[in-house]
Structure 1
Amino acid sequence: ASKNVSYAKSALNGAKAHVQALNYNVQAIRDEALQQWGEKISGWVLANGGKEWQRLLSHQDSLLLVSLPVDLSLPAETNIIRISRNGSRSHARKAYYVSSARLTDTVMQGETYFFKTATGKLRSGMRLDVWFAQDEQPVEGVFVPDQAILWHDGEPWAYVQLDDELYQRKPLKSALEAAGGLFARDEFNAGDSLVIRGAQMLLSEEFRWQILDEDDD
């Protein structure tokens, strides 16, 4: 009987040592994840069935490492940036702030941040262009929602209704980035009647009349 007890104690001690080793390994993984990815993303990884991590695993979302030049800083309270694969602002889409990053880009050597966005056609290792607002000073202007913005020759525009049958296309080239649209400091006035629907049709009509005028000449 004593022999069996000794064997049982030995097996128990072995099991305890195994559990301790597993706990040590788990803690080491936690520490490594925290060191490399920071608290927020580590929380996603280590959470049991967390929604954010599952979306990354299923490639619905992608995690982006944004590296800034040495002479630039990300303004505080920046929650949204715009990203594009081909440098075209007209095709840029939104990415959402996650956290600061502890990784450093060996080339840029500036601040680094994690953002996430819907994966779409993005692939691992792609280099992207990024746009974000840099001016923290309050400015006066008019907010132009995405629904009112159309793109022509790589530049943003919006139509304003002047009367029942008269519309004017105004440039938004100098407008500032804003959540859900652009913030125009020039050209637009408070109270302007923006065209939310049918802007593309107005653009087509505008150029159709230009062609007719040229033919008359």
Structure 2
Amino acid sequence: MNKRITLIIGLQALIIITLFWVLVFYGKDEYEAYQSEQEEEIESPNRVSEKDGISIVMLSAETQRNSGITSSKVQKFSYQGSVKTFGSVVSIDKLIEAKTQYVALATEMNIAKSSSQQLQLQLQRMKTLNDDDKNVSDSAVQEAQALVNANQAKIQAIQQQQFNLASAIELQWGEALSPLITGGQLAPHLSRLFTRQNVLVQVSLPATANAPVIGNSIQISSLNERASSVKAIYISPATNADMSGIGKTYYYSAPAESLRVGMRVNVVQTNSSQHDVHGVLIPSSAVVWHGGKPWVYVKKQNNQFVRQPISTDTEIEEGWFNQEISAGSEVVTNGAQLLLSEEFKYLIKNENED
């Protein structure tokens, strides 16, 4: 009897121990998740807020000091010098095709005009014979008149085709390049485009650069730093935007040499203006990149930091020349990357909560 009681008590103890470990095993993940959430709430205080759709990072003076975040006021800066940008060598195959079409139409026009003179003489002869006692019938005169009319209609149709082709070229390539198709006196740097001695280069100049005029030139070179630069002569404003979408685009003619269609090139434009351009100097250490664009953090009142876009069109030795940031603004010069991380940690947290 005592053995049976002992055996029952032992089995009950075993069952209790087994149930305990089963509870521990299945409750472990939930417990760890709960602990992790509690730790995140404790360790990640909310330092970012939004106002009018703009993220504002707020850090106490002590946190800034411990994180090594420093800022300084940007001063007025006057700039007069070269502008560095990029361009690309453009194919003119469509211009060459249009030239071929225009020449073919011009040939048709010459043939039609030559036939017109003969048909007019034939019509006059028929009329004379018809008036002279009806030596030819009225129907013969009418047939001669019909041939003259048909030929005149053909001439008008060819003229309309030439006009349409010239208009399309001017719309696609600009007024300065359309004479390559329609003919006329051309400057040497333009006529060499069709002989492949020169190439057409599309250049994107920033808003701070001087707009080029006839006679201006730039220096271009391939992205290979060992390549020597060549002089490119200004043609006209371009009709297409650059793939970068920055600034205004212009056409230049450059010696072919080592340049090939589709190549990206470095461009240097010398500032021909006698007037300085005014803005501020942004130190290189202040710039952070996000989404392929450059940004800086501007310190506002009450230890608040706001991210603002800048332009990197004009690079100088000390940093970047800008007109987007006002003189006297306090810009973060050390620790901008930490602020960017803090801002997007908040955004990621909000997305997870949603």
TM-score (norm 1): 0.55
Specify whether residues 36 and 48 from structure 1 end up closer, same or farther in structure 2 by C-alpha distance, changes over 3 A only.
Answer: same
Equivalent position of 1:205 in the other structure: none
Between Structure 1 and Structure 2, which shows a larger proportion of helix residues?
2
Specify whether residues 96 and 48 from structure 1 end up closer, same or farther in structure 2 by C-alpha distance, changes over 3 A only.
Answer: closer
Question: Contact 2:204–2:247 at 8 Å: present in 1 too?
Answer: yes
Q: Secondary structure at the match of 1:81?
A: strand
Specify whether residues 9 and 23 from structure 1 end up closer, same or farther in structure 2 by C-alpha distance, changes over 3 A only.
Answer: same
Aligned: 1:6 with 2:142: yes
Question: Contact 2:238–2:251 at 8 Å: present in 1 too?
Answer: yes
Q: Secondary structure at the match of 1:128?
A: strand
Q: Secondary structure at the match of 2:174?
A: helix
Specify whether residues 97 and 49 from structure 1 end up closer, same or farther in structure 2 by C-alpha distance, changes over 3 A only.
Answer: closer
Aligned: 1:24 with 2:157: no
State the shift of 1:87 in Å: 4.8
Equivalent position of 2:216 in the other structure: 79
Structure 1: gaps of 5 or more residues: 140-172, 175-217
1:46-125 equivalences under 5 Å are: 46-48=182-184, 50=186, 52=188, 53-69=190-206, 71-77=207-213, 79-88=216-225, 91-125=228-262
**Which deviations, in whole Å up to 9, do the C-alpha atoms of 1:161-210 show, x marking residues without a partner?**
xxxxxxxxxxxx97xxxxxxxxxxxxxxxxxxxxxxxxxxxxxxxxxxxx
Q: Among 128, 132, 144, which residue is 2:269 paired with?
A: 132
The CA RMSD over aligned residues, in Å, is: 2.9
CA distance in 2 between counterparts of 1:72 and 1:95 reads: 20
State the shift of 1:131 in Å: 1.1
Percentage of pairs with the same residue: 29
Larger-Rg structure:
2
State the shift of 1:29 in Å: 1.5
Q: Which moved more, 1:121-130 or 1:22-31?
A: 121-130
The one-letter code matched in structure 2 to 1:79 is N
The one-letter code matched in structure 2 to 1:86 is L
The one-letter code matched in structure 1 to 2:260 is R
State the shift of 1:107 in Å: 3.3
TM-score (norm 2): 0.35
Q: Secondary structure at the match of 2:218?
A: strand
State the shift of 1:89 in Å: 7.9
Question: Contact 2:220–2:231 at 8 Å: present in 1 too?
Answer: yes
State the shift of 1:27 in Å: 0.8
Structure 2: gaps of 5 or more residues: 1-136, 277-315, 318-354
CA distance in 1 between counterparts of 2:226 and 2:260 reads: 19
State the shift of 1:135 in Å: 7.5
CA distance in 2 between counterparts of 1:21 and 1:42 reads: 21
State the shift of 1:88 in Å: 2.4
How many matched pairs?
A: 140
CA distance in 2 between counterparts of 1:95 and 1:47 reads: 23
Q: Secondary structure at the match of 1:18?
A: helix
CA distance in 1 between counterparts of 2:255 and 2:176 reads: 18
Q: Among 131, 151, 169, which residue is 1:15 paired with?
A: 151
Q: Secondary structure at the match of 2:242?
A: coil
The one-letter code matched in structure 2 to 1:11 is L
Question: Contact 2:212–2:234 at 8 Å: present in 1 too?
Answer: no
Specify whether residues 54 and 93 from structure 1 end up closer, same or farther in structure 2 by C-alpha distance, changes over 3 A only.
Answer: closer
The one-letter code matched in structure 2 to 1:37 is W
